[in-house]
Amino acid sequence: GCLQRCLGRRLRPAPSAHRASRAVRRDFERREPYNYLQVAFFQLKKLDQAVSAAHTFFVANPQHLQMREDIEKYRRMSGVKSDSFQDLEATPHWEAYETGVQHYDADEYLQAVARLEESLSEALSALEECRALCEGPWEDEDEDEEEKMQPGLYEAIAAHYIQVLKCRQQCVLEIATKPGRISATEDFIPSHLDLLQFAYSQVGNQTLAAECAASYLLFYPTDEPMLEKMKRYRTELGEDAAVTARQSIQHYVQRSLMEKKLIYYAVEHLGETFNDPDLWTPDELIPENLKEKYREDQKKQKQETLNVEEREKRGPLPFEGIVVTMDSQQMNGTQRVVFDRVLTESECKDLLRLTKAAGEAGDGYRARRSPHTPHERFEGLTVLKAMQLAQNGDVEWRDAKLLLQASEKSRKIIESYFTPGKKLHFSFTHLVCRRAVDGEQEGRMDLSHPVHADNCLLDPEGQECWKEPPAYVYRDYSGILYLNDDFQGGGLFFTEMDTVTVTAEVHPRCGRLVAFSSGKENPHGVWAVSRGRRCAIALWYTHSQEHAEQERVKAEELMEQRAVEQDQPDGDKHQGAGRSSRSSSEPRAPSRASKPADQRQKPGLDRKQHPKVLRARDEF
């Protein structure tokens, strides 16, 4: 090391050709070269190689929206073979593991055993390869070599050795992290043994089941369920049967514990740091002073969480039972929030019943192809159309009324959270459903709704969002109230201004309300609905009263008229109270005294103003 630094200062050589820099290695880990390769192969008209390179990059970068679109284009090209979409960097242990788990979930235990054994063997082999690569010169690229203090000989040897040990310990995270994922699969090696012991027991091989159970207990010796299984296996095999853990697992655990002991000694006495990658590390191995520090960190983190919650309360929510599931900090952005329990299961079912009318007599789309993708059909219903259908007897009045009430409840929640004391008016309300087109989902790579902002025109290349028509520049806040989750895909996601870097995702479920400010700070899109039907109430709000939703005013007037007619005796009702006369005539405004107590006040709109009727073109 000293000789290399001396030669480097004197001769100023190029970086070593035998050991790539950390930045270069990071690019290769992210498979960045394949991004360039696919462009080069495409320019050379070598489509099969271009497709393989693109697919290999996309497997490790599944959130890269530009590559997602490129792959969709490749699929549409004539002459591109389906088997060209292959991962050139596929790791054997992950392929075997995922196939084994699929067989396991399908109760195909014989096939599961074979694939899981293959995965475990390949994983241990990959682990050894990773550990071997930890050998090499000491890397410390974060500090200036000219300025940092040079350690003495013994300190340098110890530091180098500890670095190698920590690198070896982190190898388990590397093999347990699936390409394209950030976080590793917890307990990757022990989970193999847990799955294998059950699968072997199901195929009648109690000897190997007991061996896997004994191997698992090396990681978690006090695990009660596994100890019970081990007791049962011993009973079935006989007390004289020798049941021992696998030699490879014994070696793995013993070696890891020895390395951890050395590392924790260095942490305690030499000022080193260490993030233990394993959940199974015995407590007695961790120095007592580090345990105390861990407890203090946990207490501090809990207090910080309480402080954040206190800051974001901003006064009580207007309804009981509603919970804030995710706030802006948890969603890696600003002016974002997710509420749960806004609707009950029965209310979701009632509104879903109303959505059936949207497919038959909605606001113009009527289950036609979505304006955003040919792979989905779109159904939409405005609040006014819902009231008109109720007038004609096509839907229940209570269902149409529930649409008004649910959207108003959402408005009050969002107003109290984001703008307490400042009135939010409805800009547009839309009950929308998206249905996946059967037979057209295989190989699909496009989105249900492309990334956009709600009150400006997004320019990803210029990193700007232009507040000009045709954007709805007057919109201030947006929301979506989900009604179901019995479909695949269809989740909402937020990105950076580049429309590529995903910062947060929201998964739909009944009664979940996601709300956010409508500007450039919250670009968002919707993942493809690949199976089933996704329904929700899309909501947009404005502080500008002149842009308040005109159709909602009319819908509330129809609702009030209905309430007045219900309060009148049968003999006092108008002769023309049938369906046709009500739908063709102008609704009569009732007196305030006749208004039911639970009916909402109409927005204070000047009747001389005629706001533009909005089209349902940019719903989620």
Q: Which secondary-structure segment (H or E) carries 426?
A: strand 425-436
pLDDT digits (tens, 9 = 90+) for 600-613: 333 333 333 333 33
Q: Where are the beta strands (DSSP E) in 484-609?
A: 488-489, 492-495, 502-506, 513-517, 524-526, 529-531, 533-542
Domain membership flag for residue 554: yes
- Looking only at the bridges linking them, the beta strands covering 524-526 and 449-452 are antiparallel
Domain membership flag for residue 356: yes
Considering the domain architecture, whether residues 120 and 76 belong to the same structural domain is answered as no
| Residue 378 belongs to domain spanning | 323-438+445-561
Cβ atoms of 55 and 86 within 8 Å: the answer is yes
The reported pLDDT for the residue numbered 369 is 59
Considering the domain architecture, whether residues 207 and 279 belong to the same structural domain is answered as yes
Kindly tell me the number of DSSP H helices and DSSP E strands found in the chain: 18, 16
CA dihedral 362, 524, 374, 511 (to 10 degrees): -40
- Counting Cα atoms < 13 Å in the Cβ hemisphere of 155 gives 8
HEC profile of 294-356? HHHHHHHHHHHHHHHHHHHHCCCCCCCCCEEEECCCCCCCCCEEEEECCCCHHHHHHHHHHHH
Q: Which CATH number covers residue 409?
A: 2.60.120.620
Domain membership flag for residue 354: yes
pLDDT digits (tens, 9 = 90+) for 383-442: 999 999 999 888 999 999 999 999 999 999 999 998 887 899 999 999 999 999 988 888
Sign for the CA dihedral angle at 330, 332, 337, 338 comes to negative
Domain membership flag for residue 607: no
Choosing from 538, 561, 584, the residue where a domain stops is 561
Domain membership flag for residue 572: no
Choosing from 510, 532, 561, the residue where a domain stops is 561
Considering the domain architecture, whether residues 132 and 226 belong to the same structural domain is answered as yes
Considering the domain architecture, whether residues 264 and 399 belong to the same structural domain is answered as no
Cβ atoms of 465 and 459 within 8 Å: the answer is yes
Domain membership flag for residue 308: no
Within 8 A by CB and 6+ apart from 304, the residues are none
- Counting Cα atoms < 13 Å in the Cβ hemisphere of 24 gives 7
Cβ atoms of 72 and 446 within 8 Å: the answer is yes
Considering the domain architecture, whether residues 402 and 478 belong to the same structural domain is answered as yes
Considering the domain architecture, whether residues 235 and 357 belong to the same structural domain is answered as no
Catalytic residue among 31, 534, 562, 582: 534
Considering the domain architecture, whether residues 84 and 227 belong to the same structural domain is answered as no
Considering the domain architecture, whether residues 274 and 375 belong to the same structural domain is answered as no
The reported pLDDT for the residue numbered 40 is 94
The reported pLDDT for the residue numbered 52 is 93
Q: Where are the beta strands (DSSP E) in 253-300?
A: none
pTM of the predicted protein model? 0.50
Considering the domain architecture, whether residues 418 and 505 belong to the same structural domain is answered as yes
Considering the domain architecture, whether residues 410 and 470 belong to the same structural domain is answered as yes
Domain membership flag for residue 596: no
The reported pLDDT for the residue numbered 577 is 36
Cβ atoms of 595 and 429 within 8 Å: the answer is no
The reported pLDDT for the residue numbered 569 is 58
pLDDT digits (tens, 9 = 90+) for 5-45: 665 665 555 555 556 677 888 888 888 999 999 999 999 98
Choosing from 561, 576, 591, the residue where a domain stops is 561
Domain membership flag for residue 453: yes
Assign 3-state DSSP to the chain and report helix, strand, coil percentages, each to 5.
50, 15, 40
Considering the domain architecture, whether residues 221 and 361 belong to the same structural domain is answered as no
Task: Assess whether 232 carries a catalytic annotation.
Answer: no
pLDDT digits (tens, 9 = 90+) for 443-488: 788 899 999 999 999 888 778 888 888 889 999 999 999 999 999 9
Low-confidence ranges of the chain (pLDDT < 50): 141-148, 298, 303, 305-307, 309-310, 312-313, 362, 364-367, 571-620
Cα–Cα distance measured from residue 413 to residue 537, given in angstroms and rounded to the nearest whole number: 15
Considering the domain architecture, whether residues 60 and 133 belong to the same structural domain is answered as no
What's the number of domains the chain is made of? 3
The reported pLDDT for the residue numbered 426 is 95
